Amino acid sequence: MRKIAAQFFISLDGVVEAPDEWHFPYFNEEMGAAVEATLGSADTLLLGRRTYDSFAGAWPGREAAGGEDAPFAKVLGDARKIVVSNRPLEPAWRNTERVEGDLAGTVAALKNGPGTGRIWTSGSVSVVRQLMAAGQLDELNLLVHPIAVRKGLRLFEDGDAAVPLTLLSCETFRTGVLNLFYAPAAAAGHGTYEDAKAHLPQH
Q: Report yes or no on whether pTM surpasses 0.75.
A: yes
| 89: CB partners within 8 A, 6+ apart | 49, 83, 96, 98
The confidence band for 184, taking pLDDT boundaries of 50, 70 and 90, is very high
Using the predicted structure, report yes or no on whether residue 57 has a pLDDT greater than 90: yes
Superfamily of domain covering 4-197: Dihydrofolate Reductase, subunit A (3.40.430.10)
Distance from C-alpha of 55 to C-alpha of 58, rounded to nearest angstrom: 5
> Span 30-56, mean pLDDT?
93
- Which DSSP helix (H) or strand (E) runs through 98? strand 96-99
Residues 129-174: tens digit of each pLDDT: 999 989 999 999 999 999 999 999 999 988 778 889 999 999 999 9
Decide the pairing of beta strands 44-48 and 4-11: unpaired
Confirm if 155 and 30 have CB atoms less than 8 A apart.
no
Distance from C-alpha of 40 to C-alpha of 16, rounded to nearest angstrom: 21
pLDDT at position 62, please?
A: 95
Report the percentage of the chain scoring pLDDT > 90.
70
pLDDT at position 200, please?
A: 84
| 185: CB partners within 8 A, 6+ apart | 164, 165, 166
The residues spanned by each domain of the chain are 4-197
pLDDT at position 149, please?
A: 97
> Span 109-113, mean pLDDT?
88
Sign (positive/negative) of CA torsion 2, 121, 131, 162? positive
Report the percentage of the chain scoring pLDDT > 70.
99
pLDDT at position 158, please?
A: 86
pLDDT at position 102, please?
A: 81
